[in-house]
Amino acid sequence: MIIDCHGHYTTAPPALGAWRERQIAGLSDPSAVPDVADLRISDDELRESIESNQLRMMDERGIDVTIFSPRASFMAHHIGDFATSSRWAAICNELCHRVAALYPERFVPAAMLPQSPGVDPATCVPELVRTVEEYGAVAVNLNPDPSGGHWTAPPLTDRSWYPLYEKLVEYDIPAMVHVSTSVNPAFHTTGAHYLNADTTVFMQLIQGDLFTDFPSLRLVVPHGGGAVPYHWGRFRGLAMALKKPPLEEHVLGNVFFDTCVYHQPGIDLLLDVVPRRNVLFASEMIGAVRDIDPCSGHHFDDTRRYVEAAGLTSAEVADIQEHNIRAVYPRLDALLQQQGR
């Protein structure tokens, strides 16, 4: 079985974006505020958006299951206040749940959180609880920078985040640490902000002692960890300078990296540097990079090709594509076992 642990609903029907535009307009004109009931998307519209896009490409690439969450750039936590984010998160999470209900053996939901700059992260706990208990979410996306590229939030090791971690541990689900749109002109959203965030968060975790307080908490750093594998020696050296234990002891029992790296040398480096038990298969397909690589003739985000060409044994490939993910996402594993898989 091949499991993609990093999928977003980037092809949602246009009505979703139109409703969001009305919500944003309502921030300056209260008469324009839409009601949640104004958004009407039929199951047929969901099917059309999925079958001609994500599901088609999953079939072409032999991917069996995708962990499916709202579009990362659409989270846009910097817009409005907590009430704005709360309504928006609830709508987006419901759509991912509906997709998973229509294709229960192909998609499994993960949730976005209703974060808002300067607002206590504990306010996100009710939506986390709702999506796990009502929708069967097997993970959440956690934005370390709700400000949209200005980094006004404290590091993820700060105690203000602890109520979220306590609930993640209680439910035994991981968080993928994933930022959203950048409104800072210095940081391109997908080319800089995403990768900056991956790198920044890993350093935050080195500086702190989060996993002493939460030894069973699991965090997934996407996009291959940003610059982390390339600068592994730097991070090892900085950990030593900070009088921290070796990375294997300090963070690698709790931190995992996905394979959303879009060329063979990058995947080879990731697998050569990071312990393979910490690598999870993912593609984030129909995401930031959608074109065909003229050098290979294949889509940049067809990451299965890179993993299977990296010189691993069949058992090592199976670990990355399935077994490691089942271990990090135990609620997914339980669901698959219920399905006889």
Query: Which positions are catalytic?
Result: 284
Q: Of 202, 304, 322, 199, which is closest to residue 260 (Cα–Cα)?
A: 304
Which stretches within the chain are classed as H helix? Answer: 14-25, 43-51, 54-61, 72-75, 82-102, 125-135, 162-171, 194-207, 210-213, 232-241, 247-250, 264-273, 303-308, 314-318, 324-328, 330-338
Strand arrangement, sheet containing 3-9 = 3-9, 65-70, 107-109
Supply angle C-alpha 143, 263, 141, rounded to 5. 15
Q: Which residues, including other chains, have CB under 8 Å from residue 16's CB and lie 6 or more apart?
A: 39, 41, 91, 92, 95
* Coil, helix or strand at residue 67: strand
C-alpha–C-alpha distance, residues 322 and 314, integer Å: 12
Q: Which residues, including other chains, have CB under 8 Å from residue 247's CB and lie 6 or more apart?
A: 206, 235, 236, 239
